[in-house]
Amino acid sequence: MLKGKTVILGVTGSIAAYKIANLASMLVKLHCDVHVIMTRNAMNFIHPITFETLTNNRCLVDTFDRNFQYNVEHVALAKKADLVLVAPATANVIAKLTYGLADDMLTTTVLACTCKKIVAPAMNTRMYQNKIVQDNLRKLEMNDFEVIAPATGMLACQDVGEGKLPDAEVLLDYVLKEIAHEKDMEGMNVLVTAGPTQEAVDPVRYITNHSTGKMGYAVARACMLRGAKVTLVTGQTSVGKPPFVEVIQIESAREMFEAVCSRYEQQQLIIKAAAVADYRPQFVSEEKVKKSGEKLVLELERTDDILKFLGEHKKRGQFLCGFSMETENMLENSRGKLHKKNLDMIIANNLKEDGAGFGTDTNVVTIITEKKEIPLSIMSKEDAANCILDEIMVEIRGKQNGYC
């Protein structure tokens, strides 16, 4: 995911420095070229050899180290970097960066960088809340730094409050958001639906389906990584929520209909990946339904057809993509749905095909438009999501240029 990308990790003198070893390892596993620069105080908490072992690059500390491979270290590395993350960032280093002080290898290099710069403060709660520190952070943001808000919890000093360095997984999300993918969807508003709906029978029971939401969540995350502003309307699922995405939690098809219909007009792209129930109980009991015989008969009624509504009310310049889960006649049924619902694209898959269907980490889909049928081989749902988005962007650009 990060092959060909270079990230500088700046580690300063905080007890939280140990977390960056895990982050460095995560980045290397994603094929990122990772360079660590430490302040001398950071060496009191973690040894440079740790980072050198993890990254296979020399860990820099001394501005005037004559044994390093570059002639002018801070300038050469700054030119190479795609992103610099200072984490943990102490109040001291934050102050230096705010006022352009460059008295060590880290501050010198960061000031020479023209790439995206992120700082993740980590310190005692009272220090973090100090007006001077807060003013410095605001000034950094005014100068194109991004500041990651610290987590709240018990600190090394046993105080409880904000000031903890976020976990490595959170820091990784910030890195990926910036450099994992070309920002070809920058400025687009995208709405994605995902997961199952639950249609109540009584306060205890409901009707649902086997959808896990994995495909829709993969699509939402891929849109975010490509620069879109994403709203995810989702049913109940155990999948972790994608970062930097507005998540609207719903239960029933009616709730999803209302959530989508109240937001669809502002969207340039809508991708309906949710498995919405076609029917719901006509009558919902206020009390638990007791066993009263051999059979229980439920009268069902149709739910709101969200995709049909979107197709009938599609705005000029809006692109509408649906999903079609079939068990037979996949292409014929999906193409019929494409026309009937006034869709621009539909993603079809067969529940019975190996590697496709509910609950898997892979999918086998066919992308269908008015003029195309593009079958994809089995791949991860993340890769499938990006293949779908690639084709959507081709179609959108074609429509904008007037040849589709």
Annotated binding site for CTP: 278, 288, 323, 337, 341
CB 165 within 8 A of CB 125: no
Of the residues 32, 59, 157, 321, which is catalytic?
157
* 248 in Cβ contact with 234 (< 8 Å): yes
- Distance (Å, whole) CA 4 – CA 82: 9
Q: Is the distance from CB of 109 to CB of 8 less than 8 angstroms?
A: yes
- Contacts for 326-334 with beta carbons within 8 Å, 24 or more apart? 326/350, 326/351, 327/351, 327/352, 330/366, 331/366, 331/368, 331/373, 334/366, 334/368
Q: Looking at the DSSP assignment, which residues form a beta bridge with residue 59?
A: none
CA-CA distance, 280 to 11, in Å (whole number)?
55
Annotated binding site: 278, 288, 323, 337, 341
Looking only at the bridges linking them, the beta strands covering 83-89 and 229-234 are unpaired
Task: Please report which helix (H) or strand (E) contains residue 36, including its range.
Answer: strand 33-38
Tokens of residue 14, six digits: 């905080």
| β pairing state of 319-326 and 189-194 | unpaired
Between CA 250 and CA 261 the distance in angstroms is 13
Q: What is the distance between the alpha carbons of residues 296 and 69, in angstroms, rounded to a whole number?
A: 77
Is 404 an active-site residue?
no
Which of 146, 92, 98 has the alpha carbon at shortest distance from 123?
A: 92
Helices (H), 130-167: 131-142
The string of DSSP letters for 236-285 reads S--SPPPTTSEEEE--SHHHHHHHHHTTGGG-SEEEE--B--SEEESS--
> Which positions are catalytic?
157
